[in-house]
Chain A
Amino acid sequence: SQQGEEDPQALSIQEGENATMNCSYKTSINNLQWYRQNSGRGLVHLILIRSNEREKHSGRLRVTLDTSKKSSSLLITASRAADTASYFCATVLVGGSNYKLTFGKGTLLTVNP
């Protein structure tokens, strides 16, 4: 089974609402990253949170990490139609290399205007 699994698989909201996506993982990590993928495009790095951090902000993004529960959440506030994309969490395992990311299957976010 997947090291990282996003939940929900799909999320549909109205513009202006907040979107929350969750990621659970199984093995201890060095860091956890969130990426965005617009349809037909490459993945774009959004934010990285290290295992000794609990919360991180970047613009309208807020990421939390709970290592005791082996879970992370990505909150997008005041969503826009342009936020419509697939969102993936990716982990770097303890002792692993930064380039060897383990990705989940992603959450498809649709923001309706």
Chain B
Amino acid sequence: NAGVMQNPRHLVRRRGQEARLRCSPMKGHSHVYWYRQLPEEGLKFMVYLQKENIIDESGMPKERFSAEFPKEGPSILRIQQVVRGDSAAYFCASSPDRLNEKLFFGSGTQLSVL
């Protein structure tokens, strides 16, 4: 079992560019969660997705951020027109169902905005 796979591990973008972060959940897991860790802070929940559905996006900034989990392929967290304040580590987690109390996290994508 390969675990939760995130890529890229590091992503550098200039202000105004777009960032796309990918996450493939563990085999057999159909629930994906994105968390963000800003410098000097704990991880914060952003969004919860199932295949083709956004279930809870209460932690997502209202503008420039979007997430999807298509029927085929990985989940994508997309940040448009990045700003320096978007620099953070973005972690994806998965679980087999929404009741599962244990989340399995990927190694994260470190986004740096120049």
**Interchain CA distance A41-B35 in the complex, whole Å:** 14
Decide if the interface of chain B is mainly helix, strand, loop or mixed: loop
Closest A residue, CB atoms, query B48? A99
A43 touches B98 (CB 8 A): no
Minimum distance in angstroms from B5 CB to a CB of chain A: 10
Minimum distance in angstroms from A2 CB to a CB of chain B: 6
**Interchain CA distance A88-B41 in the complex, whole Å:** 11
Task: Report if A11 contacts B (CB, 8 A).
Answer: no
Contacts of B40 in A (CB 8 A): 105
Tally B residues with Cβ within 8 Å of A. Answer: 30
Minimum distance in angstroms from A85 CB to a CB of chain B: 13
Other-chain contact of B43, A40, A45, A97, A101 (Cβ < 8 Å): A101
Q: 7 extra interchain contacts, Cβ-Cβ under 8 A, other than A97-B56, A98-B99, A106-B42?
A: A40-B107, A42-B6, A42-B105, A97-B48, A99-B48, A100-B56, A100-B58
Could you list which residues of chain B lie within 8 angstroms of chain A, going by C-beta atoms? 3-4, 6, 31, 33, 35, 40-45, 48, 56, 58-59, 91, 93, 95, 98-108
Could you list which residues of chain A lie within 8 angstroms of chain B, going by C-beta atoms? 2, 4, 31, 33, 35, 40-45, 48, 88, 90, 92, 97-106
